[in-house]
Structure 1
Amino acid sequence: MTAIPVMIGRRMPLPAASGSSDAFAAEAAVPAAGAPLVDTHGRVHRDLRISLTDRCSLRCTYCMPEQGNEWLAKTSILTLDEIEQIARVAAADGITTFRLTGGEPLLRTDIVDVVRRLAAIEGPDGRPVQIAMTTNGIRLPELLPGLVEAGLQRLNISIDTLRRDRFHALTRRDRLDDVLAGIAAAAASGLRPLKLNAVAMRDVNDDELVDLVEFATAHDAQMRFIEQMPLDAGHTWDRTRMVTQDEILAALSRRWELTPVPGRGGAPAARWTLDGGPHTVGVIASVTAPFCGDCDRLRLTADGQLRNCLFSTTEYDLLPILRTEPAAAHEAGIDRMLRSCVHGKLPGHAINDPAFLQPARGMNAIGG
């Protein structure tokens, strides 16, 4: 089975020429199944973000249009069995954390079963994998007990504003009370660390940064601010609307003494303690302070495409392996595709390069 990357813009497979393409140049030297997933820049990959759907109960302005969305065909969405099959191979290759994303992962009707099946997977050392989730929180009050029982260990919940009018304008839905109820349920669940995510936007919510941190600490959660990235389906991203990490820290430092937390590792957020702790605040500064050199993440879209970077313009299609290859060949095929994806990873995302091209997919179709 030869790994076939797909160019996202045209979604056309590259020719599977033997030895002539850089994408396949190292195929003869692909490590054996079970070896760590190490790219050509020495980064070991331990985190796989699994998108379960491109559908969402909100329509955030920085993610997708309110109307006219082209949803993935239901027949292309990975089944629970297919997700588990990919995850088992990934775990054998050293992936230790699966983060479930969307769209909105809680819209998936089999979400509790997804968590239960993945939580039962063990790595080569016999340790169970970690199961995390990023959600808008709307369905947490009803689903969280079952998710915790199934093995969910960590939660990130998105909340960009505490003001009802702004929430409605940002998400085009009047669901703030539902999100707040989901956060309250998560705080009461005991799942820790609990993280709240907000995209910082100029003249939209940049006057709420302190309020959001105080809200998070009141719920024993870590607030994390995200620099707005060019990942909206409408391609309307404007760099001047982005609030930078320096601006975020300047605003917070007027309220708290901020002290950097060492030992970030591959985590996307740099952290600072508030007045010496115990609470912290994080900033994900993908635009002004990229952390590509320590990136240990891969992504799997809901329709079976592997991505080695959030901003990649190339995808690696697992569906032909899962749906046309003999079952006995699936494990080896998935392993080879994972390794080809990792091998093709670039040093960084190049957002700040004049030649940067925004991915054709929006964030909801890539997975958070």
Structure 2
Amino acid sequence: MNAKQETPLLDRHHRTINYLRLSITDRCNLRCVYCMPEEGISFLPHKEILTYEEMLRLVELCVANGIRKIRLTGGEPLVRKGVIGFIEKLNKIEKLKEITLTTNGVLLKEFARDLRKSGICRINVSMDTLKPEKFNAITRRPLFERVWEGIEEAESVGMAPIKLNVVAMKGFNDDEILDFARLTHRKPYHVRFIEMMPIGAADARMKGFISRQEILERISSLGSLHRLEPELMAGPAEVYALEGAKGKIGVIGALSHHFCATCNRLRLTADGQLRGCLFSDKETDLKTALRQGKDDGYLSDLIRDTILNKPKGHNLDLNNPRKCVRPMSRIGG
């Protein structure tokens, strides 16, 4: 079968693609202000979402063509039934080196041990504040303590590193930048500050944008900040550490210091659309081909065509916002 080829996925701009972000559901148990409106959105009909068997087949094809790392996203991936069994099957795929997961943490306390046993060694948790009242305002749900207990449970079962994703918002949580940085002195967590991006519900809130440079300048007031080498198959974060800290600090400058030239990823949505760029609405419909009974060679060609035509960059800046057709919960965070 054509899927057994070993040629890595390479785009027109000579970037090797080895990282797949797989959204397994568009459902979420929070209503974060930068992701969706308070009333929520219309979720996809269940029949439109790929089955685990369909996802597994597409992942096997991607791995056969060079993908080596997968991150499970949503919506919130832990709300989908059967996720542990799915992860166990993913871990049996030869040549797949790493499976990680991004979660909002609400269900993490009850899932942490099973996730660890299934093969998830490290996770990213969306955590935009260390203050319960702000957490309630951002997520529109009073679940701060539950999320923090989940993070501690993940640490207790041996997940490492635990990465906390913090979307920096001026006038809302930028007064906590130093508190998050200090957290790395006490805990071995990786705190990652992410610039707000003009996509989905966040588009109207770009007046709260704070750049990576300003974030780094503020953290530098705490002491020496050392730049570290990125990990193998690492994401776009620039990684730093404060002197004597147990953890690390990352900054992701999606707008002010974008990483398009080294982007190594694909995104597969829960309804089977393959995207070469978060900010591009161009998608390849794998689901229809899959359900029409196309063979692995045909599907592999679709995957390769998506890579070949991967955009060189997103062409976004503060003066050039773009409203994506899909909300973030349907693309995959």
The TM-score, its normalising length taken from structure 1, stands at: 0.85
1:171-217 deviation digits (Å, cap 9, x = unpaired): 11000011101110111121112111110001100000111223354
Query: How large is the RMSD of aligned CA atoms in angstroms?
Result: 2.0
Write out aligned runs for 1:30-41 (5 A): 33-41=5-13
Equivalent in the alignment of 1:257: 224
Equivalent in the alignment of 1:299: 267
Equivalent in the alignment of 1:87: 59
Are the structure 2 counterparts of residues 184 and 216 from structure 1 closer, same or farther at C-alpha, using a change threshold of 3 Å?
farther
Which moved further from structure 2: 73-82 or 349-358? 349-358
Equivalent in the alignment of 1:7: none
SS of the equivalent of 2:88 reads helix
Equivalent in the alignment of 1:342: 307
Equivalent in the alignment of 1:143: 111
The TM-score, its normalising length taken from structure 2, stands at: 0.94
2:18 equivalent to 1:51: no
Provide the C-alpha distance between the structure 2 equivalents of 1:276 and 1:334, rounded to a whole number of angstroms: 49
Q: How many percent identity over aligned positions?
A: 39
Size of the aligned set, in residue pairs, is 331
- C-alpha displacement of 1:114: 1.4
1:259–1:276: 8 Å Cα contact kept in structure 2? no
Which of these residues, 322, 325, 331, is aligned with residue 360 of structure 1? 325
2:215 equivalent to 1:248: yes
SS of the equivalent of 1:236 reads helix
Provide the C-alpha distance between the structure 2 equivalents of 1:277 and 1:331, rounded to a whole number of angstroms: 48
Are the structure 2 counterparts of residues 202 and 234 from structure 1 closer, same or farther at C-alpha, using a change threshold of 3 Å?
closer
- C-alpha displacement of 1:357: 3.1
Equivalent in the alignment of 2:128: 160
Write out aligned runs for 1:130-279 (5 A): 130-233=98-201, 235-238=203-206, 240-263=207-230, 267-275=235-243, 277-279=245-247
Are the structure 2 counterparts of residues 31 and 175 from structure 1 closer, same or farther at C-alpha, using a change threshold of 3 Å?
closer
Are the structure 2 counterparts of residues 310 and 217 from structure 1 closer, same or farther at C-alpha, using a change threshold of 3 Å?
farther
Provide the C-alpha distance between the structure 2 equivalents of 1:154 and 1:330, rounded to a whole number of angstroms: 34
User: Partner letter of residue 39 of structure 1?
Assistant: D
Provide the C-alpha distance between the structure 2 equivalents of 1:139 and 1:102, rounded to a whole number of angstroms: 13
2:71 equivalent to 1:106: no
1:138–1:181: 8 Å Cα contact kept in structure 2? no
User: Partner letter of residue 92 of structure 1?
Assistant: A
Provide the C-alpha distance between the structure 2 equivalents of 1:218 and 1:130, rounded to a whole number of angstroms: 27
User: Partner letter of residue 189 of structure 2?
Assistant: A
SS of the equivalent of 2:55 reads helix
Equivalent in the alignment of 1:25: none
1:141–1:182: 8 Å Cα contact kept in structure 2? yes
Are the structure 2 counterparts of residues 195 and 355 from structure 1 closer, same or farther at C-alpha, using a change threshold of 3 Å?
closer
Equivalent in the alignment of 1:333: 298
User: Partner letter of residue 218 of structure 2?
Assistant: A
1:48–1:95: 8 Å Cα contact kept in structure 2? yes
Equivalent in the alignment of 1:21: none
2:121–2:158: 8 Å Cα contact kept in structure 1? no
1:270-326 deviation digits (Å, cap 9, x = unpaired): 01121165532000110100011111000000000000011111011111111112x
Provide the C-alpha distance between the structure 1 equivalents of 2:321 and 2:170, rounded to a whole number of angstroms: 23
SS of the equivalent of 2:175 reads coil
Provide the C-alpha distance between the structure 1 equivalents of 2:155 and 2:101, rounded to a whole number of angstroms: 15
1:316-343 deviation digits (Å, cap 9, x = unpaired): 1111111112xxx431122111101101
Any stretches of 5+ residues in structure 1 without a counterpart?
Answer: 1-29
1:129-170 deviation digits (Å, cap 9, x = unpaired): 311000011111111111111111220011101111111111
Name the larger-Rg structure.
1
1:98–1:131: 8 Å Cα contact kept in structure 2? yes
User: Partner letter of residue 113 of structure 2?
Assistant: P
Are the structure 2 counterparts of residues 65 and 83 from structure 1 closer, same or farther at C-alpha, using a change threshold of 3 Å?
same
- C-alpha displacement of 1:222: 0.7
Provide the C-alpha distance between the structure 2 equivalents of 1:359 and 1:150, rounded to a whole number of angstroms: 34
Are the structure 2 counterparts of residues 242 and 32 from structure 1 closer, same or farther at C-alpha, using a change threshold of 3 Å?
same
SS of the equivalent of 1:212 reads helix
2:184–2:191: 8 Å Cα contact kept in structure 1? yes
Provide the C-alpha distance between the structure 2 equivalents of 1:242 and 1:166, rounded to a whole number of angstroms: 17
